[in-house]
A and B are shown apart, each in its own frame.
Chain A
Amino acid sequence: MLLSVEPDGPVPIYQQIRDRIVEAIAGGRQPAGSGLPSTRQLAVDLGVNFHTVNKSYDLLRQEGLLRLSRKSGAVVQRDAGSGPPRPDWTQDWAARLQTLLAEAAAQGLPADEIIGHCREALAAFAFPEGQPFALPEGQP
């Protein structure tokens, strides 16, 4: 998996690392059961503080995406094929999505364009075979 961060960017580095790993899991580049570098190794590779990577991994662990153990290091625990998430998680996520979509609407992005962006993003994810892709084609 290729991972890049913007150390001097506006988003905190731990958040960037967490986001890139979530994207890699969704994109199928880091499937469930695959290993990630240890916190120390990833900190060396990115030239960032050890605690920064620790924080990212801890976030991912709390989200149930990563299993951390002394013996096997960091292992991805869930991916698109691991079945539905907890209902309360979906609620939280829907609230955050609403904010994200509201940002686009508030900036005047037309609804069909918003849907177009959603479709483009979803097309890059590795959903399991046969899972229905229910967004209507062409019309919002």
Chain B
Amino acid sequence: MTAARVIGEVMVPFFAVLMCLAPAMTRPTVAFGVRVPAERAGSPVIRQERRAYLWRTAAVGACCTIAAVLLAGYGSWWLSRIILFVELAADFGCYALARRKIVAVKSAETWYAGRRQIVATDTSWRTDPPRFPVRWLVPALAVIAVTIVVGVLRYPDLPARLVAGWGGRREPKSFLAAFAVVAAQLYVTILWTGLMLLVYRSRPDIEAADPAGSTQRYRRFLAAFSRAVLTLMALVNLSVLLAALRNWQVYRLSGPASALPALPFAVGLLVLAVTGYRVGQGGYRLATRAAGAGGAAGGRGPAAGTDRDDDRFWKAGLIYANRDDPAIMVGARFGVGFTFNVANPMAWLVIAGIVAVPAGLVAIGAAAGM
């Protein structure tokens, strides 16, 4: 039983639960990627589809988890990856089914006819911007520093052939092969920090019915979510360090204990999921603090309009493409998280960077290995 295998098997029930709970994490005015007016959020079709989605995804999750457990002893490590893929595909099928029903009722009953559709913002988001929690980077960087120090100390005593990655393949001993783990840690750290910085510069999810209150909730959401992401980042680095220590023969584990390197990663995912569930997307599950909501003295009353029906910019309710919108990242429409504005060329530059860096590292590694 290797750490890679444990991660694969833990992912199946983890995503089963996550996909079941995704509608509960999403604000009620966006039902399965469909924008609905607040008064329609409790309409029969939405309640019915949410119930149906819950049962369907629960069934999918249970079947896939049972399959993963039964097949755990057979096949290769990639078997659990295939089960996970099937599970996610089936869950998105359930999502699409629910979405289609709601879209049909929404357009048949013209839910947005005669409504004043507005986009609201609170300029205090820019004049008093939230601060990125720089101190929360310390654990991740500390783990990288420990990895480098241990690696340098161990390197002279390493055998001629090294175990690479999570286990399995052996490569001739070289500086690059030994320190690929540090590159992986740096990549994870820089990637997630960079994406969170982009999110900090982007806009908050604001509800037209309560712009000041929702901006305030979004601040608390972003503070909690970014800390959870930075914690996950540190724990991923720790998982990589634990795997490296084994590859560098600092310790030896056998039996179930050999899955130890997967533990920090699993804990980090759990922390992120629990945080996401507690605050909800954009912080909609948080209660507004009564005091200090001074922004309500806006020129127009809070109920001057409904959130704009922006479904046309959301392909399948999941992919955001709005050419007029200069935002690179925006809040996701289903579950908790963020997504790229794929109509913005800058977003593709960022995606290209995310893909090119590991590809480049692998190429450098291959070239150096020759």
Contacts and interface: CB of A to CB of B under 8 A. Distances in A.
A36 to B, nearest CB: 6
Interface string A32-73: 001111101111111111100000000000000000000000
Interface in B286-311: 295, 297-300, 304-305, 308, 310
B212 A7 contact: no
A116 interface: no
B123 interface: yes
Contacts of A42: 121, 123, 126
B121 A45 contact: yes
Contact of A6 (B116, B127, B211, B325): B116
A20 B124 CA distance: 15
Nearest to B299: A23
B2 interface: no
A27 B125 CA distance: 20
B298 A41 contact: no
Contacts of A6: 116-119, 305
Contact of B202 (A20, A36, A44): A44
* Chain B binding surface, main DSSP class: loop
A1 interface: yes
Interface in B105-140: 116-127
Given A4-B305, A37-B126, A29 B119 contact: no
B306 to A, nearest CB: 11
Nearest to A53: B326
Interface residues of A, number: 31
B208 interface: yes
Interface in A96-140: 124
A37 B300 contact: no
B20 interface: no
Contacts of B122: 1-3
B118 A2 contact: no
Contact of B325 (A5, A41, A48): A48
A46 B119 contact: yes
Nearest to B124: A1
A8 interface: yes
Nearest to A30: B123
Most chain A beta carbons < 10 A, residue from B125, B300, B325, B326: B326
B322 A4 contact: no
B138 to A, nearest CB: 29
A109 B133 CA distance: 57
> Which of A37, A47, A50 has the largest count of B CB atoms less than 10 A from its CB?
A47
A24 B297 CA distance: 10
B299 A29 contact: yes
B203 to A, nearest CB: 5
The SS class assigned to the A binding surface is mixed
Contacts of B299: 2, 20, 23-24, 27, 29, 124
A72 to B, nearest CB: 12
Nearest to B325: A47
Contacts of A8: 117, 308
Interface string B211-250: 1100000000000000000000000000000000000000
B322 A47 contact: yes
A44 B326 contact: yes
A23 B298 CA distance: 10
A49 B310 CA distance: 15
Contacts of B119: 4-7, 46-48
Contact of B324 (A4, A9, A47): A47
A43 B211 contact: no
A27 B298 CA distance: 9
A7 B326 contact: no
Contact of A47 (B126, B203, B300, B304): B203
Nearest to A40: B326
B336 to A, nearest CB: 20
Interface in B255-273: none
A4 B325 contact: no
Interface in B314-329: 322, 324-327
Nearest 4 CB-CB pairings of A with B: A2-B298, A37-B126, A4-B120, A45-B121
Interface of A: 1-9, 20, 23-24, 27, 29, 34-38, 40-50, 124
Given A2-B300, A4-B121, 17 more contacts: A2-B211, A3-B123, A3-B298, A4-B119, A4-B208, A4-B211, A4-B298, A6-B116, A6-B305, A8-B117, A23-B299, A24-B299, A29-B298, A40-B326, A42-B126, A46-B119, A49-B326
